[in-house]
Amino acid sequence: MSDQETSDPIAARIAEAAQRAKAEAQERRDKEQDKKQLPPELGGPKGPEPTRYGDWERKGIVSDF
């Protein structure tokens, strides 16, 4: 058995895996695009998301939670 015979099936499997990964990545990008098209929140807090940054501001008073 030569090196070329053993590497061809391996190269084919790698190419198949690459195609699957590319398709999965495209699906994730499409889902992210759908999420970005949501309508804006009405009556929500102004500025950065308070649950993400750890503080909440109401009428000029900031509180951590």
Q: 15: number of CA atoms within 13 Å, CB side? A: 6
Is residue 58 classed as helix, strand or coil in its secondary structure? strand
Domain spans, the chain: 3-64
Measured in degrees and rounded to the nearest 5, phi and psi for residue 2 equal: -95, 170
Instruction: Give me the residues paired with residue 55 across strands.
Output: 64
Single pTM value for the model: 0.41
**Interval 12-57: pLDDT, tens:** 999 999 999 999 999 998 887 776 776 777 877 666 666 666 666 6
**H helix intervals, the chain:** 3-36, 50-53
Q: Which residue has the tokens 């590497």?
A: 7
